[in-house]
Amino acid sequence: MRTVNAYAAPSATEPLGPTTIQRRDLGPHDVLIEIAYAGICHSDISTVRGDWGPAAFPLVVGHEIAGVVTEVGPEVTLHQVGDRVGVGCMVNSCRECVNCLAGLEQYCLKGFTQTYNYPDADGTITQGGYSTHVVVVEDFVLKLPEAIPFEKAAPLLCAGITTYSPLAHWNAGPGTKVAVIGMGGLGHMAVKIAHAMGAEVTVLSQSLRKRDDGLGLGADHYFATSDPATFERLANTFDLIVNTVSSADIDIAGYLSLLTLDGTLVNVGAPGEPLPIPVFALFGNRRSFAGSSIGSIAETQEMLDFCAKHDIAPEIELITAQDINRAWERVLASDVRYRFVIDAASFA
Ligand code: NAP
Ligand code: ZN
Ligand code: ZN
């Protein structure tokens, strides 16, 4: 075991603060990563605040991790000391269910091992990336393209792949009209990626506050959902809508009415409360309502290489560990532009 510095949530209601945690000794296939940067995902906050059920405290969250390999287990073949690497939301899976065998570990039928707040094979609870180091089995570690700096690579490991995967699966590209609901961490990546894929991109945001940014990131159109005229004007328009909103308090029937024939609204936002889906909104235009969970390891590598090739990276605000609690409040207030990234040197 090695003791490393981290920032932990002591409970659902108290601020995060400095602590130390144990990282396991390297197994034959483990790599030790010295973390350079960790992104802040809304899921970190939802987990700690108990939106999806109680968490195991004290808890270190963070599943957007970028760093350097500093040690490898004796049987590691995929990575070497000095490699630039990333870790996202998964650190393992069962490796034997039909979905794992199909290379879709994010849909592991036994549940993939989440990077934090999840029972690990050794009985401990996984602890995430708000920390100086992490130990991860080699095949759940991604290679970071040279072209992407560490601090910009980190958010790709969750926000990037979670939006890339549904856009790729539902064939966003030339000739398709894609709408993105919510211009936050996931939403702004969805805009950039859908634009790079060649789709016509529309942002549906609560207000026009971030309109100039959205158009600058590659959106073709930008509408405020607080204006009822938006729903009339855009009725029956989109082939694909990606909903990134973290709240269930949205007009889901209104959004479904914006889908064209055979269009799909895919939900990646993960509110704690159920979304009420009126079936009649699905009957019209033979619409589909779908969900999507992160992306596989192979697809995450594909996304990283796609982002490097298309010169895509998140818009980030770099912070230190001492700023995390304030940054969380800003995320909750939809005041993130557009991903907070923590300099892991400040955990030391
Ligand atoms: P975020 O940065 O907070 O962005 C969410 C955006 O949604 C906000 O910036 C805001 O954009 C909009 N929004 C927030 N509250 C709203 C409300 N009450 N009504 C309407 N719009 C609202 O969060 P994130 O990190 O992108 O994560 C988004 C969601 O995805 C979270 O629920 C997270 O847990 C989930 N998630 C899911 C997966 C998955 O695998 N499916 C992976 C990662 C994250 P505007 O101001 O532009 O309206
Ligand atoms: Zn996330
Ligand atoms: Zn499995």
Distance 101 CA to ligand 3 centre (A): 7
- Residues 6 or more apart in contact with residue 240 via CB below 8 angstroms: 166, 167, 170, 172, 176, 177, 178, 179, 199, 263, 264, 265, 266
Would you give per-residue pLDDT tens digits along the chain (348 residues)?
999 999 999 999 999 999 999 999 999 999 999 999 999 999 999 999 999 999 999 999 999 999 999 999 999 999 999 999 999 999 999 999 999 999 999 999 999 999 999 999 999 999 999 999 999 999 999 999 999 999 999 999 999 999 999 999 999 999 999 999 999 999 999 999 999 999 999 999 999 999 999 999 999 999 999 999 999 999 999 999 999 999 999 999 999 999 999 999 999 999 999 999 999 999 999 999 999 999 999 999 999 999 999 999 999 999 999 999 999 999 999 999 999 999 999 998
294 phi, psi to nearest 5 deg? 25, -120
Distance 19 CA to ligand 1 centre (A): 28
Ligand 1 contact, 63 CB (< 6 A)? no
Q: Which amino acid is at 225?
A: T
Q: Which of 334, 337, 339 to mutate to test the pocket of ligand 1 (most atoms within 8 A of CB)?
A: 334
Give this prediction's pTM. 0.98
Residue 13: what pLDDT? 97
Task: Indicate which atom in ligand 1 lies nearest the CA of residue 186.
Answer: 26
271 phi, psi to nearest 5 deg? -70, 155
Distance of alpha carbon 187 from alpha carbon 204, whole angstroms: 10
343 phi, psi to nearest 5 deg? -75, 115
Residue 180: what pLDDT? 99
Distance 98 CA to ligand 3 centre (A): 7
Q: Do 111 and 51 meet the contact criterion of CB atoms below 8 Å apart?
A: no
Distance 261 CA to ligand 2 centre (A): 31
Query: Counting ligands in written order, which one lies closest to the CA of residue 88?
Result: 2
CA neighbor of 93 nearest in space, from 106, 76, 102:
106
- Neighbour count for residue 145 (Cβ, 10 Å): 16
Distance of alpha carbon 38 from alpha carbon 343, whole angstroms: 7
Distance of alpha carbon 127 from alpha carbon 139, whole angstroms: 18
Ligand 1 contact, 285 CB (< 6 A)? no
Distance of alpha carbon 129 from alpha carbon 124, whole angstroms: 16
Residue 150: what pLDDT? 98
Task: Indicate which atom in ligand 1 lies nearest the CA of residue 293.
Answer: 40
Residue 141: what pLDDT? 98
> Whose C-alpha lies nearest to ligand 1, atom 12?
182
> Whose C-alpha lies nearest to ligand 1, atom 18?
247
- Residues 6 or more apart in contact with residue 268 via CB below 8 angstroms: 162, 163, 166, 186, 242, 243, 244, 291, 292
Residue 253: what pLDDT? 96
Residue 306: what pLDDT? 98
Distance of alpha carbon 250 from alpha carbon 228, whole angstroms: 13
Distance 158 CA to ligand 2 centre (A): 5
Distance of alpha carbon 286 from alpha carbon 266, whole angstroms: 15
Tell me the β-bridge partners of 136: 31
SS3 167: helix
Residue 258: what pLDDT? 98
